[in-house]
Structure 1
């Protein structure tokens, strides 16, 4: 991580006896109040006359300082600072084999509350007390429902428990410092970057946003875990929209990420990137609309990284292998080939960089207090394991440090830094030649080259087809007769994961990085994916929705301003 952490102890079941330095004030209050709750709750009978004590409680606090600067059309629309402390309390009653979070009640395990910003012991303790009482009450109600449901429902396919037993972790790092940002300088920089879009009158909307955050995550549990882990992140986001004459809306987005604002690219590099983005939008709105296609395709490294994250990564998350509603694409495929034998896939949140590029999916401890670790998911094409939180599944009863969640959500097995490697790689120009040869072999006039992909979604539930849809931003037809590549618009990649993945036949010898935010049941979290460019013998695409809105009727003010400038120049 960007901020160095100094560990005091590791795996300390008796913190008070072994701790060699005082806890940070907030973590000390959290620990004291948690111990008091564990010693007191359940001593009084509930409404049924039974005494039900919690077997597990955890407190997690995100103490975050952030700064945001946003501009559009060359002017600032926001410049603000924020400091917040948000508490998640998790209370479990029953026992790890069956507790109040079972089945459809899993999402109710967390109770969230805003905490005071000052280290006022009484104010903090009172807030913790209030949230714990609310969480305990909810846990009791749900536990009674769970037991009733267990008596009347059919036997579940996977009868694994609801919570795994793990070793407690203790790691006290220095609190993250407040982001150091020269706001005057960065307001000017963001404003100037947004102003570049005035050179592109067909760009109807744009936003340039700088977000810098320093966060210390405090975690304590009744098992003995005590954690204080800092994290810093800076992100510059560029987003712009245009509309083609036929009503199709088109957008381009680009992000630049680093641990701090000082590590972001210099202004000249950002200016070049934004002009390229503007030119790309102008070219896209004039490009022909795609036709449905099923044939050979080549994904750039960045596009392949997004593709693997969406199509494969989500299906390797542990909780997707369990539950009546989950499609369980790979549940029965452990120790069986799911990819070509030259491909391997790991997820390594301990890795902070790939080459010189920072990986935003890195972290030291997950959101259940478990040490992050590299997990080799697929080796030489063979599936070996899944991304595990503390939610067990058949054959995999423990966490591997991938329990992740946004504040206010229950952690699930999620991706961190998904890394794809290949033993069958060729230089990228050679891969392009292979694309053309494959198109000729199939009698196709062209193959498709996907330069950039924005996002997508993966359907993993059982009541829907096990399919995916990925939205490319920049797609070219690569003609077999030597004609120049042709940019097309309105492309959507569709298909089923098992079929798509097994049609990869070669990769390039250079990998690229995708950094972004991923949203799922446990909320939005930062992720990274790394992959080389890939050649597929077959990929199916369809048209995106056309759109029916007209292009703007009034001329863009940028056009009027440019005309006046030109007239003034002629007058001189």
Structure 2
């Protein structure tokens, strides 16, 4: 028998009256106001070594008001509904704006959209019972029993549905629904004093069909094999050499090294090495990097951002040239650029920030074998264990999950403790081959004071004279 906790909140109707309330509470010195209403439901099942250790099902709802008065923004949120609570929330936002020291904010070209975007899956979350979902996770765990070296396996199944309503005083009225489904895994292997730890995830926007599009069993088997290989891997070499990065690590380059530096709030704050470089060549002609929230089934996809701006594809680097930053309405106004749907909030309780969505490097002409064939000595870097990026200085250091030595065009010895370091304005000139095998779909949550769902990816890429470390 499985024990679990079910959290229930009563969701109150928040339809037509809300947009009227926004207009009713406007004041003469309030230039603009917007209302976001959200309803969120989620389920998390965690299983460790075949036993359910967590099972939480919950719902939440609330609203927030953001307004502009005398060049200052005020924001307030509440989990309660009703005319009195709405009035209190509006008044709090107004008081906050009046007490701000910054009064130079302008919001031009705000949303006037009126639309409905209801995303739903072919196989609904509700079609499977809780017991069936637990059984599914158990079947995944059983696949790991064939590996004697695997000593601990933690699997998490997660589903959520977010329904948002958006209104503003310029007439925008939006209703959106975005479901997400994911499976995450952590594997620990142990043999003869050696220990390895591997993580992985699959998932995206959609319901149960996501588990068919991105099969967790395939990812789990690959991660188990990697964990076992790492037990017998040698330390990676240090110095300059040719590196081939796999799809996952390519995605980390796109997200960490370029995506964060292209967030316009960082540019305005003087915290981006790409400030003032729009139109400049910062990479090889074969390098194109995109942030696209319109991709189907990806974890970072959405129809409208949290300012009511329609989501669109953004080409950050176009054949080596820096073309675009990621913008909110505020940053676009300040930099005299076009808004592009980059304002996202973790929930109704916090104001939107400039954020990425699905960030990836576009494909080229090389096959993986062609990349390897030309390398006498180098390193193949797979996956990511995270890293550090200083967008102000333009430096980075990433740790690969595992690697292989490349000798005379052939993958030979497995490697561990492999890291790559360099500078953002240099590394994209060092890419001399881009693969034709683009894969986007490494779901995660990006943190920046708030967590939002994202994906990244790309093809295999080859980097000349890359700085690698083995410690």
Global fold match (TM > 0.5) = yes
Does the Cα contact within 8 Å between 2:290 and 2:361 map onto a contact in 1?
Answer: yes
Measured in 1, the distance between the counterparts of 2:40 and 2:283 equals 40
What is the SS of the residue equivalent to 1:312? helix
Question: Which residue of the other structure, out of 423, 432, 436, is the alignment partner of 2:372?
Answer: 432
Per the alignment, do residues 319 and 245 of structure 1 end up closer, same or farther by CA in structure 2, a change over 3 Å counting?
farther
Residue in structure 1 matched with residue 42 of structure 2 by the alignment: 66
Residue in structure 1 matched with residue 312 of structure 2 by the alignment: 373
Structure 1 residue 250, shift from structure 2 partner:
2.8
Whether 2:55 is the aligned partner of 1:79: answer yes
Question: Which residue of the other structure, out of 440, 450, 459, is the alignment partner of 2:390?
Answer: 459
Residue in structure 1 matched with residue 281 of structure 2 by the alignment: 337
Measured in 1, the distance between the counterparts of 2:240 and 2:51 equals 45
Whether 2:178 is the aligned partner of 1:213: answer no
Residues 307-341 of structure 1: CA distance to partner in whole angstroms, max 9, x if unpaired? Answer: 21111111111112112xx3331122111111111
Residue in structure 2 matched with residue 410 of structure 1 by the alignment: 351
Measured in 1, the distance between the counterparts of 2:370 and 2:194 equals 38
Which runs of no fewer than 5 residues in structure 2 stay unpaired?
Answer: 1-11
What is the SS of the residue equivalent to 2:378? strand
Does the Cα contact within 8 Å between 1:61 and 1:86 map onto a contact in 2?
Answer: yes
Residue in structure 2 matched with residue 127 of structure 1 by the alignment: 85
Question: Which residue of the other structure, out of 368, 390, 405, is the alignment partner of 2:329?
Answer: 390
Whether 2:435 is the aligned partner of 1:479: answer no
Give 1 or 2 for the bigger CA radius of gyration: 1
Residue in structure 1 matched with residue 8 of structure 2 by the alignment: none
Does the Cα contact within 8 Å between 1:176 and 1:216 map onto a contact in 2?
Answer: no
Does the Cα contact within 8 Å between 1:214 and 1:233 map onto a contact in 2?
Answer: yes
Question: Which residue of the other structure, out of 103, 116, 120, is the alignment partner of 1:172?
Answer: 116
Per the alignment, do residues 422 and 209 of structure 1 end up closer, same or farther by CA in structure 2, a change over 3 Å counting?
closer
Residue in structure 1 matched with residue 248 of structure 2 by the alignment: 302
Measured in 1, the distance between the counterparts of 2:292 and 2:181 equals 21
Per the alignment, do residues 500 and 173 of structure 1 end up closer, same or farther by CA in structure 2, a change over 3 Å counting?
closer
Residue in structure 2 matched with residue 228 of structure 1 by the alignment: 175
Whether 2:381 is the aligned partner of 1:450: answer yes
Measured in 1, the distance between the counterparts of 2:166 and 2:467 equals 46
**TM-score (norm: length of structure 2):** 0.87
Does the Cα contact within 8 Å between 1:365 and 1:401 map onto a contact in 2?
Answer: yes
Does the Cα contact within 8 Å between 1:27 and 1:220 map onto a contact in 2?
Answer: no
Structure 1 residue 244, shift from structure 2 partner:
7.5
**TM-score (norm: length of structure 1):** 0.73
What is the SS of the residue equivalent to 2:330? coil
Measured in 1, the distance between the counterparts of 2:335 and 2:193 equals 53
Residues 215-268 of structure 1: CA distance to partner in whole angstroms, max 9, x if unpaired? Answer: 21111122221111111111111122346877876323232445111341399x
What is the SS of the residue equivalent to 1:339? coil
Question: Which residue of the other structure, out of 403, 416, 427, is the alignment partner of 1:489?
Answer: 416
Whether 2:14 is the aligned partner of 1:38: answer no
What is the SS of the residue equivalent to 1:261? coil
Question: Which residue of the other structure, out of 274, 280, 299, is the alignment partner of 1:360?
Answer: 299
Whether 2:470 is the aligned partner of 1:531: answer no
Measured in 1, the distance between the counterparts of 2:191 and 2:280 equals 47
Residues 26-70 of structure 1: CA distance to partner in whole angstroms, max 9, x if unpaired? Answer: 13232122122214xx7xxxxxxxxxx332222212211222222
What is the SS of the residue equivalent to 1:184? helix
- Quick check: 389-398 or 65-74, which moved more? 389-398
Q: What count of residue pairs does the alignment treat as equivalent? A: 455
Does the Cα contact within 8 Å between 2:387 and 2:399 map onto a contact in 1?
Answer: yes
Residues 154-208 of structure 1: CA distance to partner in whole angstroms, max 9, x if unpaired? Answer: xxxxxx8443332411113459798313222111111232344455465454311
- Quick check: 489-498 or 387-396, which moved more? 387-396
Does the Cα contact within 8 Å between 1:164 and 1:397 map onto a contact in 2?
Answer: no
Does the Cα contact within 8 Å between 1:75 and 1:195 map onto a contact in 2?
Answer: no
Whether 2:104 is the aligned partner of 1:163: answer no
Measured in 2, the distance between the counterparts of 1:65 and 1:519 equals 20
What is the SS of the residue equivalent to 1:488? strand
Whether 2:97 is the aligned partner of 1:139: answer yes
Per the alignment, do residues 196 and 72 of structure 1 end up closer, same or farther by CA in structure 2, a change over 3 Å counting?
farther
Per the alignment, do residues 286 and 128 of structure 1 end up closer, same or farther by CA in structure 2, a change over 3 Å counting?
farther
CA-atom RMSD, angstroms? 2.8
Per the alignment, do residues 454 and 30 of structure 1 end up closer, same or farther by CA in structure 2, a change over 3 Å counting?
farther
Residue in structure 2 matched with residue 279 of structure 1 by the alignment: 225
Measured in 1, the distance between the counterparts of 2:38 and 2:192 equals 47
